[in-house]
Amino acid sequence: MPALNIIIDERNGALWAAAVDSSRRLFALECDTPREEIRWGSIFLGKVETIDRKLDACWVSLGDGRMGLMPRKEWTDPNIDPQSGDLMIVQAKTGVTQSTIPAEELDLMRKVKIEPKVTRLSTDITLAGRYLIFAVKEADNRLSRRVRDRATRRKMMNMIEMLADDLQGCILRAAAESVQTDILKREGLYLQSRWTALQKKAKTLTRPQELERGPNAIERMLSDMAGRRVDSIEVALLEHLSKAESWCEIFAPDLMTKIVPIELANATDDFALFEHYDLQDQIEDLLQPYVLLPDGGNLILQETAALLAIDINRGGDQRNSNMDLNIEAAHEIGRQLRLRNLGGIILIDFLKGKTKADEGRLIAAMEDAVATDACTVQIHGMTALGLMELTRQRRLPTLRDRALGVK
């Protein structure tokens, strides 16, 4: 697994964090837009406004005119309806940015029963660290479902048993496989103390408001890269240095020495550090509906209201067989989904294979391509028409939506 460098920059008030390999090729990308209305992971003291029977959900006021929707399955007890006016601690499970859709278009959308997106809320609060996730509804400690290797699961289950006397409600992440128990205990106890402090704060309040902002782009990037070797964390601004140090001091003391201030004459310019490393063109390419593959093939990505369709074309590739081109495309699709933060239902039209064995190889390649994704990706197999069907849960609006400041 190659080492990565993390580069932190700013543009038009938006905070960006990129992970790149030794050739400066993008591996992961995070962005906090100034048009952000509700950040993924933010915790609120919410006030129940109404129960919507048609949606089987309740509308919750989050303060400052913000609203969220909480489906029945996310209630404290799905069998008991909350009452209008009830105050409860809730967490945003999806992020939302302010809409730039013109008012007349919004009115038309509402007339045809299309509502602008709102954040999905839950009372299942989780606080993420580097190696652990503290989940308030978990009675015991458990292992992340993303750890699938049997030998690794047995080893990590033994680690969980060693934590039982000191911690409850913690989910052990895959990145914790080789971490000392003392480090896990320290992180778990810190996360538990944060939850206790949030509860105490909520008890002193009488109106809906934000209790804690969700993790910023730097924190999400560092947390997601916990299972990989990080060679450096490069910053050009003092503010970014402070943010990186604050997170590493708590969760990753070993990375403190990897934080490197880069001196640039134009350090305060937008994307000064990204331009220094020639990353801007790569980011702009991610806003295009196509991707060029190394040997001349290409991908076309078409987003609709219902799903994302991806088409693989041979283009000018005269070297690779259909199967080789498909496997190359599968790995690039996994990368594009991660970088563009595309999600929902995804249908992929690969070049036609010759046998059932080819389908199996292609599914295995796709599983490998999404294995490093911080968001949950499920591969559902091939449809009767030969399309690969998968779903991806995303935490934030797409990269395009965040970069352009729309929902």
What residue spans define the domains of the chain?
Answer: 4-33+215-278, 40-122, 126-212, 286-404
Indicate if the pLDDT at residue 406 is higher than 50: no
Interstrand relation of 209-212 and 170-172 (parallel, antiparallel or unpaired): unpaired
CATH topology of domain 4-33+215-278: Nucleotidyltransferase; domain 5 (3.30.420)
Long-range pairs of 308-316 with CB within 8 A, sequence gap ≥ 24: 308/342, 308/343, 308/344, 308/345, 308/346, 308/347, 309/346, 309/347, 309/349, 310/346, 310/347, 310/348, 310/349, 311/349, 312/348, 312/349, 312/350, 312/351, 314/351
Cα(62)–Cα(67) distance, integer angstroms: 6
Cβ–Cβ under 8 Å, residues 237 and 267: yes
Instruction: Give the right CATH number for 40-122 from 3.40.50.300, 2.40.50.140, 3.30.450.40, 2.60.120.260.
Output: 2.40.50.140
Q: Is the pLDDT of residue 102 over 80?
A: no
* Higher pLDDT, residue 78 or 224: 224
The pLDDT of residue 286 is above 70: yes
The residue to which tokens 């209008």 are assigned: 84
What pLDDT shows up at residue 149?
81
The residue with greater pLDDT, 46 or 400, is 46
Provide DSSP, 8-20.
EEEETTEEEEEEE
Q: Express each pLDDT in 219-277 by its tens digit.
A: 999 999 998 999 999 999 999 999 999 999 999 999 999 999 999 888 888 899 999 99
The architecture (CATH level 2) of 286-404 comes to: 3-Layer(aba) Sandwich (3.40)
d(CA 6, CA 19): 4
Residue 166: per-residue pLDDT: 85
Q: pLDDT-derived band of residue 155, with 50, 70 and 90 as boundaries?
A: confident
Whether residue 389 contacts residue 380, with contact meaning beta carbons closer than 8 Å, is answered with: yes
Q: What is the pLDDT of residue 116?
A: 56
Residue 332 predicted with pLDDT over 80: yes
pLDDT at 200 over 80: yes
Q: Which of 111-115, 319-323, 373-377 has the lowest mean pLDDT?
A: 111-115
